[in-house]
Structure 1
Amino acid sequence: MRKALVSTLLFISCSVTVQPGFAQTSNTALVPLPSLDDFTQGQNGWSFGLGLGVEYETAYEGSDEFGFELQPAGAIQWRNDNHIYYFAGEALGWRGRVNENWLLEGALGFDEGREEGDSDDGYLDGLGDQDESFELVFQARRAFTSDWRYWLVSRIVSGGDGNLGLFGVGRRFGDQVDGTGHEVNLVAVFHDSEYANKGFGVNATQAQASGLPETDVDSGLRSFGIDYSFRHYINKNWQLYGEALFEYYSSDVRDSPIARSDYETEVGVGVIYIF
């Protein structure tokens, strides 16, 4: 969740079964969840979506500064029956439905890190800039029913700066099978000490340069969160999407001098043109 609860993915399975309740038809998404963009409209082969969104969000994890930011949207996707391979900005990945109730995903993503200049008020001065890095993201969703009304979700993020795990439950609203509608997830997020201290720790060198107290954050519960996704076809080619998240930090994170707020929040809307 470096700047998101939302996004991303796990292992390729060699065997795929197509269930009658999910037989591929025109405009049928791989799974009918608005949080997962699917521009293939039920067809094998290449698809391409390009758009733009605007987000109102915290400046960095733990910040009490907010601002607007323009974000590109869309992806290049290639579908082969129950598998979609994609390139989406800063992520290269695969998503596959291995049976009626299981969705697995895996991706290589890019983390931009944190810079002192992310705080306009100077709250990060002396902490130094964090290096950019790549992260592996693995995700699995297990639906309780074939229409994906309710599901369990798990996500693991692993990179050179520790590991993060997310576990939760979700619900879809609406009867569409084209990936539009509304979706809500309730999650608990955990991190190891390395990941925790990259975001909220202050080592001895940083403490001397910044004047903040030296802080070591233990592994364990990071936060509880809720996220919401919305997707709607304006017409065959234009798609409207929106998302919102709220993440409430655990007491260990709130005690960090970097966490100037008890929570992180983000709201975004945008449009995508599907070619």
Structure 2
Amino acid sequence: MRLFSLLFATAFMAPGVATANEAQEGPNIRIGAAALYTPKYVGSDDYDLRALPLISFDNLAGFELSGLALAYPLIDIGTGQGPGRWSLKAGPRVAFDFGRDSEDSPTLTGLEDIGASLLTGGFLRASYGPLGVRVDAGQDVLGGHDGFNADLSVGTYLPDGLLAENLAIQPAITISWADETYNQAIYGITAQQAAASGLPQYDLGSGFHRASVSLLSWYQIDDRWQLNTVLSYRKYRGDFADSPILQAPDGATSDVFALIGVSRRFG
């Protein structure tokens, strides 16, 4: 699925676990471009290298855009960021997912395409001192995978000047939970799909299907230009890692994600 690639690729433009710039006034808009190295779909050992635009904004009529996710913080309270301070943001969120194409691999032959999905739900971001927590959750209402997925991230934000001048980094750990509908669509094989593909039938329930370790960085070139990088290692867990899709000759039970880009701030 392309959701993780596209959302993660552009969400990095503003810190996501313990945000750095939430105290600023007025809209902050960033536009740029990046090179992205990512698996073709969940469980693929085949990678794509592609160029893509980077667009994000926050505090634009109250809305925040990170990649293909649009959020509106109904709750925005706290004393700020840093030692002895705390913050809390929460509100509704919608995210778009392009889905998965069965032509991406011979392993997927005989499996139906997974259509586009619109995940409607909410988000929560909280921080205390150097630690931050983020939750993003949504239910598909567009008929792609028809499932529910939630990501829980814990991390910290190290501002520029702490490790190096003009360089800020954010390490984070993320675990992902999904319901039976989502997991069956992404990892499972129905009896009908087994007959069409030759893969064994594989049924799954709800559960934590993936864990990730990520490192995001922002290097401030000047007042407006920024160099952005993302490195992530993602490991699929338990019964989900045993999926015939992930166990296929061109499958993988873990993958990496890498991105480097440049963006310019407007506003």
TM-score bin, normalised by smaller chain? 0.7 to 0.9
Normalised to the residue count of structure 1, the TM-score between the two structures is 0.77
1:117-161 CA-to-partner distances (Å, cap 9, x unmatched) read 222xx221111211112112422122122xxx1123322232142
Cα deviation code 1:177-207 (max 9, x no counterpart): 9x96100111222211111011111112211
Whole-angstrom distance in 1 between the partners of 2:96 and 2:128: 32
Structure (1 or 2) with the greater helix fraction: 2
Instruction: Compute the TM-score of the two structures, normalised by the length of structure 2.
Output: 0.79
Deviations 1:62-87 (A, max 9, x none): 1111120212102344447xxx4134
The equivalent position to 1:172 in structure 2, one of 157, 165, 168, is: 157
Change (3 A) 1:165 1:87: closer
User: 1:126-275 alignment to 2 at 5 Å?
Assistant: 126-145=110-129, 149-160=130-141, 161-174=146-159, 181-259=168-246, 260-275=251-266
How much has 1:61 moved relative to structure 2? 0.2
The sequence identity of aligned pairs, in percent, is 23
Q: In the TM superposition, what is the alpha-carbon distance from 1:8 to its structure 2 partner?
A: 10
Structure 2 residue 106 is the aligned partner of structure 1 residue 115: no
Tell me how far apart the structure 2 counterparts of residues 40 and 174 of structure 1 sit (CA, whole Å). 13
Mapped partners of 1:188, 1:213: distance in 2: 28
State the partner residue of 1:3.
Answer: 4
8 Å contact from structure 2 (residues 9, 67) kept in 1 = no
The alignment yields a C-alpha RMSD, in angstroms, of 3.1
Q: Which residue of 1 aligns with 2:82?
A: none
Corresponding residue for 1:26?
none
- The 5-angstrom pairing of residues 35-46 of structure 1 reads 42-44=24-26, 46=27
For 1:113 and 1:172, the matched residues in 2 are separated by 31
Paired residue type of 1:173: L
- In structure 2, the partner of 1:20 is none
Residues matched between the structures, number: 243
> 1:58 & 1:189 partners in 2: Cα distance?
18
Q: Report the CA distance shift for 1:49/1:36 in structure 2 as closer, same or farther (over 3 A).
A: farther
Aligned positions of 1:10-159 closer than 5 A? 33=15, 42-44=24-26, 46-79=27-60, 84-87=62-65, 90-95=68-73, 97-100=76-79, 101-119=87-105, 122-145=106-129, 149-159=130-140
What SS class does the counterpart of residue 208 from structure 1 fall into? helix
Cα distance change on mapping 1:75 and 1:167 into 2, 3 Å: closer
